[in-house]
Amino acid sequence: MATLRLALAQMNAVVGGLNQNVETLRRFRTQASASGADLLVTPELSLMGYPPEDLLLKEGFIESGGFALAELALERNKVPMLVGAALAEGAYGTRLAPASDSRDAGAGGPGDTRPRIANALVALGDGDVVAVATKRLLPNYDVFDERRYFHPGLGDHAVVNVNGVAVGMLICEDVWMSDGPAARLAAQGATLLVVANASPFARGRRDEREAMLRARARETNCAIAYVNLVGGQDELVFDGQSVVVNEHGDVLARASAFSEELLVCDVDARASRVGVTLKANYPRDERRARAATANHVSEPLDDVEEIYEALVMGTRDYLRKNGFRTAIIGLSGGVDSSLVAAIAVDAVGARAVRGLALPSRYSSDHSLDDARDLARRLDVELNVVPIEPAHAAFAQMLSDVLGGAPEGLTDENLQSRTRGVLWMAVSNATGAIVLTTGNKSELATGYYTIYGDSAGGFAVIKDVPKTLVYELCRYRNERARRDGDPEPIAESVLVKPPSAELRLDQRDDQSLPPYEELDPLLELYVEDDATADEMIALGHDPALVRRITRLVDNSEYKRRQMPPGVRISKKAFGRDRRMPITNAFRVEDQ
């Protein structure tokens, strides 16, 4: 047996930020050298960021990535490093499947003169590119769209030999298939497998990953080092939680969730002469290396805590990476806006968050009091601007058009749209981003006002069902108590009946079933793709099922106009669930 010291760079890459990513890779390389690592492994497409989407089709992007990779490759006296990058066919001997074998209609299609490209993992030695692994299995489900851009690799699977250990190089999807690329690497003589990943967070995903890795380790009789991206990218959040398992599937080391980290792990593997040599030619400070912490196992977060941290990271990185310094939130005194405010403060700090309370004639005194109390507890600035003068002016303007003052739903939505106008005006004047406060239950059923409470730049909890909103609020309060801080969300907010307060004595349960009944139906229909008949067969009320599925189907045009927001489920609206707006299909009509 031989012992290899691996360093896994759980990094927060910036999509398209080649210069920033090169600097991050260098920083991790320096840290890995200080730890005495034999090999540094970085995530999937760590050089370009993930997912780069149509940047991969943009003139000059692949070429610029090649220049950045060559710059890293020329560095000498550094720890060997595996870098995720997109490579054009032929670069460093990269071979790709013919178009007829790739099942690819996007990249390299008829009349496309752009180079065919691979999703690759590149081994950098002492001043040179030593080996290239290409991704074989290209996912095209859920949030993944890789067949639009990449072609599968051909040829032998890449094995590099590091200090007498044959290290097989894999990329994300390639490790998921039983008797697939991982098994073929083991058959070639690899005794340790390393996997570069960009695996987005979804509820329960860490357990699935580690179960798969345990199975693959036993199948191949190889230890497996799995390094994952961390950070927010538009709707996606990458949770990190990089992990190393031995050949029996036991966890040797695990990185923390939702933070950058260099995970150092000493791994025992069978000695082997297989693979092209990748030497660690750099000056080591053995005393410092021995002092470096290795094989640390971070404890997984609880379910609700994990979701909360995903929402915080997704919000923080969306603002930071897009250049927003401050955020505006419409504080109504309700549970949704309270949760969004707490997340925003945890993401960017209280000084960067501003609340706008815009009460109408129907807003209750206790709701305004709750908004003021929340602002005090979170230490954020709050401006209170009654909207009744604007509401009355709009109503007067519309009376000639409508033949009378607006009534019913028209008047309710008018209030919400008045608020949207004011939020966006403040955003224009200050450069702050408006964070919307709608939850997944509302988005699913269309229970929100388009161009009103949906107005904004980022929808923090758009993938969070209403019942989970309450769980997250209680978790945040519990964490505050544990830390000796004041609870940010008052109990009065958590116990009052949910209401939009757009008419006298309005409650959500006048328009929707109680959320305890609604959310399980939405999970079945939206996330599990259950049909109405299947839901009824499970014992749900037929009339209610038909009503809710119609609401979901009829609200697609509204959801399509919503801002992006953090994805925390296995099927979010937008990137995952892509339904046509114009859609006449109904199961009951067939």
3-state secondary structure labels for all residues of 288-339: HHHHCCCCCECCCCCHHHHHHHHHHHHHHHHHHHCCCCCEEEECCCCHHHHH
Over residues 454-475, the mean pLDDT reads 96
Higher-pLDDT residue of 546, 292: 546
Tokens of 262: 């260099």
Distance, in Å, from the CA atom of 79 to the CA atom of 75, rounded to the nearest integer, reads 10
pLDDT of residue 116: 92
The whole-chain average pLDDT of the chain stands at 91
CA-to-CA dists, residue 42 to 123, 226, 296, 467, 574, angstroms: 10, 10, 18, 38, 29
Res 590: pLDDT: 41
* Residue 113, pLDDT above cutoff 70: no
**Banded pLDDT at 105 (limits 50, 70, 90):** very low
pLDDT tens column, 550-560: 999 999 999 99
- Taking CA atoms, 551 is separated from 100, 526, 555, 584, 587, in Å, by 42, 12, 6, 14, 14
Instruction: Indicate if the pLDDT at residue 388 is higher than 50.
Output: yes
Binning pLDDT at 50, 70 and 90, where does residue 30 land?
very high
Write down the pTM of the prediction.
0.93
pLDDT tens digits, one per residue of 177-214:
999 999 999 999 999 999 999 999 999 999 999 999 99
- pLDDT over threshold 90, residue 169: yes
485-525: per-residue pLDDT in tens? 999 999 999 998 887 767 777 787 788 899 999 999 999 99
User: What CATH topology corresponds to 2-300?
Assistant: Nitrilase/N-carbamoyl-D-aminoacid amidohydrolase (3.60.110)
List, for residues 338-378, the tens digit of each pLDDT value.
999 999 999 999 999 999 999 988 878 888 989 999 999 99
Q: What is the CATH number of domain 305-589?
A: 3.40.50.620
Domain with CATH 3.60.110.10 in the chain: 2-300
CATH 3.40.50.620 domain position(s) in the chain: 305-589
Percent of the chain at pLDDT above 90?
75
For residue 304, give both structure tokens.
């609700």
Query: Average of pLDDT values for 132-147?
Result: 89
Q: What is the pLDDT of residue 554?
A: 92
Token digits of residue 172: 């994300």
How does residue 112 score in pLDDT terms, banded at 50, 70 and 90? low
What are the residue numbers of the active site? 44, 135, 172
Predicted pLDDT at 501: 67
pLDDT at residue 109, rounded to an integer: 56
Peptide bond into 51 cis (omega under 30): yes
The structure tokens listed for 306 are: 């994990």
Rg (CA), the chain: 26
pLDDT at position 40 is 97
User: Which pLDDT band, with edges at 50, 70 and 90, does 115 fall under?
Assistant: confident
Does residue 575 surpass a pLDDT of 90?
no
How would residue 403 be classed by pLDDT, with cut points 50, 70 and 90? confident
What confidence tier does 53 reach under pLDDT thresholds 50, 70, 90? Answer: very high
pLDDT bin (cut points 50, 70, 90) of residue 162 is very high
Confidence bin at 258 (pLDDT 50/70/90): very high
CA–CA distance, 245 with 475 (Å, rounded to integer)? 31
Query: Is pLDDT larger for residue 290 or for residue 19?
Result: 19
Mean pLDDT, residues 526-545 taken together: 93
